[in-house]
Amino acid sequence: RRQRALVWGVLLLAWKAAWGQLRYSVPEEMPKGSFVGDVAKDLGLPVPVLGDRGVRIIERGRTQYFALHGKTGHLVTAERIDREQLCRLVEKCVLRCELIVEGEMKFYEIEVEIIDINDNSPNFKEIELEQSISEATATGSRFPLPDAHDPDSGQNSLQSYELSGDEHFSLAVQAGPGGDQRPELVLAKALDREEAAFHELVLRASDGGDPARTGTARIRVTVLDANDNAPVFSQAEYTVRVPEDVPVGSVLVTVTATDVDEGPNGNLKYSFHRISERASELFHLESKTGEITLKENLDFEEISSFEMQVQARDDGALFDAAKVTISVTDINDNSPELTVSSALTEISEDAPSGTVVALLHVQDRDSGANGEVRCLLDRGVPFRLQSSQGNYYRVVTSRELDREQVSEYNITVRAADGGSPALQSSAVLALRVLDVNDNAPVFLQERYSARLAENNAAGALVLTVRARDADWGQNARVRYRLAEGRVRELPVASELFHLESKTGEITLKENLDFEEISTLEMEVQARDGGELFDAAKVRIAVTDVNDNAPEL
HEC secondary structure over 292-360 = EEECCCCCCCCCCEEEEEEEEEECCCCEEEEEEEEEEECCCCCCCEEEEEEECCEEECCCCCCCEEEEE
Q: Are strands 123-124 and 148-149 parallel, antiparallel or unpaired?
A: antiparallel
User: Are the CB atoms for 78 and 65 separated by under 8 Å?
Assistant: yes
- Residue 543's SS3 state is strand
Q: In terms of Cα–Cα distance, which of 177, 160, 324 is closest to 242?
A: 324
CA distance 456 to 466: 23
Q: Are strands 505-508 and 519-527 parallel, antiparallel or unpaired?
A: unpaired
Low-confidence ranges of the chain (pLDDT < 50): 1-19
Residue-wise pLDDT tens digits, 255-297: 999 987 767 878 899 999 888 889 999 999 999 999 999 999 9
What domains can be seen in the chain, in order of their start residue? 21-115 (2.60.40.60), 123-224 (2.60.40.60), 233-329 (2.60.40.60), 337-434 (2.60.40.60), 442-543 (2.60.40.60)
The pLDDT value recorded for residue 14 is 35
CA distance 255 to 306: 16
481-520 core/surface letters (b: 16 or more CB in 10 A; e: else): ebeebebeeeebbeebbbbeeeebbbbbeeebebeebeeb
Please name the residues in contact with 41: beta carbons below 8 A apart, sequence gap of 6 or more.
73
CA distance 99 to 109: 6
Q: In terms of Cα–Cα distance, which of 289, 421, 412, 401 is closest to 354?
A: 401
The pLDDT value recorded for residue 229 is 78
Q: In terms of Cα–Cα distance, which of 516, 515, 522 is closest to 494?
A: 522
Cβ neighbours, 10 Å, residue 286: 13
CA distance 153 to 138: 39
The pLDDT value recorded for residue 251 is 94
- Residue 98's SS3 state is strand
- Edge-to-edge, what's the strand order for the sheet holding 169-175? 142-144, 181-187, 169-175
Cβ neighbours, 10 Å, residue 526: 25
Please name the residues in contact with 152: beta carbons below 8 A apart, sequence gap of 6 or more.
84, 116, 117, 118, 119, 120, 207, 209
Q: In terms of Cα–Cα distance, which of 312, 315, 326, 137 is closest to 233?
A: 312
Cα distances (Å, whole numbers) of residue 117 to 84, 184, 285: 10, 29, 53
Q: What are phi and psi of 102, to 5 degrees?
A: -65, -35
E strand spans, 117-180: 123-124, 128-134, 142-144, 148-149, 158-164, 169-175
Q: Cα 95 to chain center, whole Å?
A: 46
Residue-wise pLDDT tens digits, 434-480: 878 788 898 989 899 999 888 888 888 989 999 988 877 778 888 88
Alpha-helical regions (H) of 334-425: none
Radius of gyration in angstroms for the set of CA atoms belonging to the chain, rounded to a whole number = 54
Residue 479 burial by CB count (10 A; 0-12/13-18/19+): exposed, middle or buried? middle
Structure letter (DSSP) for residue 52? T
Q: Are strands 447-453 and 257-258 parallel, antiparallel or unpaired?
A: unpaired
- Residue 18's SS3 state is coil
Cβ neighbours, 10 Å, residue 237: 10
The pLDDT value recorded for residue 407 is 86
